[in-house]
């Protein structure tokens, strides 16, 4: 046990050392390269685009190496664009008022209310207490993953993993107690099933994020780029179709791989059903706050999916459908659901409502909103000043004009996957997204498949503890050796990329978006 702890400490120190070197490297090399780019004459670029290329060089390096917070870098880019005379201030910061920002904000507030009032735990324990789950370790394994994935589609993957983490610890303690009662002592840090269950939580939290536009930032970022750069609107309902299929397929792959690598060595977990039922009983009866939250959440979801339903029932040119889309776009639907939380009373005589602004503000990931706005701002400037077209034409001319949709999706999906293993998936999407969309347009291809491919691939960061917050959470348990995370993550990354991401986005997306 002590040797294992010493190994973990060495790995942790190695990671910290690498992190320090990475940040120091970026802090000095980023500005240096930006100056060099600015001093080198470049044919085909006007002065404004040339300055933006230098700024983008600095921003990209700092997004990857993180010498300062990613959100700070996201503000630095537009600020430098104004200070250097590249664009006017209104053009640099207009993206921070994008409707997508408010769609995210509404989603954050709804998620905060769900966590604040225990709606997420109630759902998780309810699912785990279903008769089909019982005390079977394999079914518990799948139920934990399913509960995590479904919650993560609406609540941040970090919060979902943090919620499921203690639930899994309790289940593992039940296994340990059962084994001890049968005369077998086990060390959970070396127990295969414990490793698999923890990885199931981490991977399912990331997999569930692809379900909805608000599930994870890359989804909304790519939707924003399509809207800002090509005036292509992808609805909440459309994304959910793609996301649901991708989530199911990713979940199946992860389940098969993890159950194969980390099988249970028992047929029944004595005490598991009792543990779950006791936790569910501790939640008590439904409170007024929980009912209000469920109602507000239901209203938002209904408003989000209604256009898709109306589009099936009515003609696409229907005045009712057009009126609905004008009055209740996705951002407004999110804000309606969120604002209801401030109006629905829990105790009106005491003027106590479902959520307070202080509580809501603590649940809004302001850094993510700033990063999202900064990414849209930089992408929009690259497009409007012709920088992304110049880069796109340069790549297309070197590769040839016969780039296929399959090649484009494969290359950028793989690039997004690799980068997301090493840095924030949000920063990855901000860097890769505008370039991929522009190259697709330059090659005469639809930008939608590659945009969706990047968003999905950026969520497949399964190999390292630093890849995603859920990975870090379960790694900290001590039950997940880093070698096991790398090996299992590599299997799921590769299989998911080759057999799900690339064929899915090419065929499904082009089919749905075709006239």
Domain-located, residue 373? no
Other C-beta atoms within 10 Å of 339: how many?
13
Output 62 or 173, whichever has higher pLDDT.
Answer: 62
Domain-located, residue 175? yes
Q: Into how many domains does the chain fold?
A: 2
Identify whether residues 141 and 234 lie together within a single domain. yes
Identify whether residues 53 and 144 lie together within a single domain. no
* Residue 354 near residue 78 (C-beta atoms within 8 A): no
Identify whether residues 173 and 45 lie together within a single domain. no
Output 204 or 320, whichever has higher pLDDT.
Answer: 204
Helix ranges (DSSP H) in 40-156: 47-65, 70-83, 89-93, 99-116, 119-128, 137-152
HSE-up of residue 14 (Cα within 13 Å, Cβ side): 8
Identify whether residues 135 and 11 lie together within a single domain. no
pLDDT in tens, 411-445: 898 888 888 887 778 888 888 888 899 888 888 88
H or E segment to which residue 511 belongs: helix 510-513
* Residue 201 near residue 161 (C-beta atoms within 8 A): yes
Domain-located, residue 412? no
Q: Which DSSP letter does residue 481 get?
A: -
Output 79 or 66, whichever has higher pLDDT.
Answer: 79
Give the residue from 233, 258, 287 where a domain finishes. 287
Q: Which DSSP letter does residue 21 get?
A: H
Identify whether residues 54 and 110 lie together within a single domain. no
Identify whether residues 67 and 205 lie together within a single domain. no
pLDDT in tens, 11-64: 456 667 777 888 899 999 999 999 999 999 988 889 999 999 999 999 989 988
Domain-located, residue 442? no
User: Three-state DSSP class for 353?
Assistant: strand
Residue 396 token pair: 């297309």
Looking at the predicted structure, is the pLDDT value of residue 511 above 70? no
Residue 281 token pair: 């009983």
Pick the most confident of 82-91, 107-116, 163-172.
82-91
pLDDT confidence of residue 1: 39
* Residue 92 near residue 78 (C-beta atoms within 8 A): yes
Query: Quick one: which of 159, 160, 150 has its CA closest to 208?
Result: 150
Domain-located, residue 436? no
Identify whether residues 49 and 9 lie together within a single domain. yes
pLDDT in tens, 212-226: 988 888 898 899 889
Identify whether residues 177 and 269 lie together within a single domain. yes
Looking at the predicted structure, is the pLDDT value of residue 356 above 60? yes
pLDDT in tens, 312-353: 777 767 888 888 888 888 889 999 999 999 999 999 888 899
Rg (CA), the chain: 24
pLDDT in tens, 218-277: 898 899 889 888 888 888 888 888 889 999 999 999 999 999 998 887 777 777 788 788
Give 361's pLDDT tier (boundaries 50, 70, 90).
Answer: very high
Mean pLDDT of 59-87: 91
Looking at the predicted structure, is the pLDDT value of residue 2 above 70? no
Identify whether residues 237 and 283 lie together within a single domain. yes
Domain-located, residue 500? no
Domain-located, residue 154? yes
Identify whether residues 133 and 250 lie together within a single domain. yes
Name the one residue in this structure whose structure tokens are 């989530």: 247
Identify whether residues 149 and 11 lie together within a single domain. no
pLDDT confidence of residue 45: 87
Domain-located, residue 231? yes
Identify whether residues 129 and 272 lie together within a single domain. yes
Structural domain span for residue 48: 1-87
pLDDT confidence of residue 510: 66
Label each residue of 299-347 as H, E or C: HHHHHHHHHHHHHHHCCCCCHHHHHHHHHCCHHHHHHHHHHHHHHCEEE
The CA-based angle 66-417-439, given to 5 degrees, is 95
* Residue 138 near residue 262 (C-beta atoms within 8 A): no
Q: Please state, in angstroms and rounded to a whole number, the distance separating the CA atoms of residues 499 and 284.
A: 44
pLDDT confidence of residue 188: 64
Give the residue from 61, 87, 113 where a domain finishes. 87
Output 55 or 396, whichever has higher pLDDT.
Answer: 55
Give the residue from 287, 303, 318 where a domain finishes. 287
């Amino acid at each position: 046990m002590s040797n294992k702890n010493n190994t973990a400490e060495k790995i942790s120190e190695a990671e910290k050392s690498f992190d320090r070197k990475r940040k120091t490297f970026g802090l000095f090399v980023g500005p240096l390269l930006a100056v060099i780019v600015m001093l080198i004459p470049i044919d085909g670029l006007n002065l404004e685009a040339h300055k933006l290329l230098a700024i983008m060089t600095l921003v990209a390096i700092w997004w990857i190496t993180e010498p300062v917070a990613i959100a700070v870098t996201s503000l630095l880019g537009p600020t430098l664009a104004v200070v250097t005379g590249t664009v006017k201030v209104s053009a640099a910061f207009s993206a921070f008022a994008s409707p997508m920002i408010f769609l995210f904000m509404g989603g954050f507030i709804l998620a905060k209310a769900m966590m604040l009032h225990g709606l997420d735990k109630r759902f998780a324990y309810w699912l785990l207490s279903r008769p089909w789950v019982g005390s079977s370790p394999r079914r518990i394994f799948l139920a934990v993953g399913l509960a995590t994935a479904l919650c993560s589609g609406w609540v941040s993957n970090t919060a979902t993993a943090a919620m499921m983490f203690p639930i899994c610890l309790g289940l593992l303690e039940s296994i340990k107690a059962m084994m001890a009662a049968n005369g077998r002592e086990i060390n959970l840090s070396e127990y295969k099933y414990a490793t698999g269950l923890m990885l199931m939580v981490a991977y399912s939290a990331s997999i569930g994020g692809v379900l909805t536009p608000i599930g994870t930032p890359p989804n909304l970022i790519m939707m924003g780029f399509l809207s800002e750069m090509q005036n292509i609107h992808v609805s909440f309902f459309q994304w959910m179709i793609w996301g649901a299929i991708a989530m199911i397929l990713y979940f199946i792959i992860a389940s098969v791989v993890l159950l194969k690598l980390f099988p249970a060595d028992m047929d029944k977990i004595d005490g598991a059903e009792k543990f779950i039922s006791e936790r569910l009983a501790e939640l008590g009866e439904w409170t007024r706050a929980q009912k209000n939250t469920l109602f507000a959440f239901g209203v938002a979801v209904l408003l989000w999916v209604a256009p898709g339903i109306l589009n099936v029932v009515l003609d696409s040119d229907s005045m009712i459908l057009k009126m609905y889309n004008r009055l209740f776009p996705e951002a407004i639907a999110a804000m309606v659901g969120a604002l209801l939380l401030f109006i629905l009373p829990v105790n009106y005589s005491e003027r106590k409502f479902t959520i307070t602004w202080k509580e809501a503000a603590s649940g809004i990931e302001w850094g993510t909103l700033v990063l999202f706005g900064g990414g849209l701002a930089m992408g929009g400037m690259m497009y409007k000043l012709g920088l992304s077209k110049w880069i796109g034409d340069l790549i297309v001319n070197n590769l040839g004009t016969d780039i296929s949709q399959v090649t484009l999706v494969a290359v950028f999906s793989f690039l997004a996957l690799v980068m997301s293993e090493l840095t924030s998936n949000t920063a990855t999407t901000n860097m890769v997204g505008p370039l991929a969309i522009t190259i697709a347009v330059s090659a005469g291809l639809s930008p939608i498949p590659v945009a969706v491919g990047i968003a999905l691939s950026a969520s497949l960061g399964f190999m390292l503890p630093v890849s995603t917050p859920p990975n870090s959470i379960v790694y900290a348990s001590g039950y997940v050796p880093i070698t096991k995370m790398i090996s299992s993550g590599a299997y799921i990354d590769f299989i998911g990329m080759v057999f799900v991401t690339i064929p899915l986005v090419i065929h499904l997306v082009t089919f749905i978006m075709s006239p």
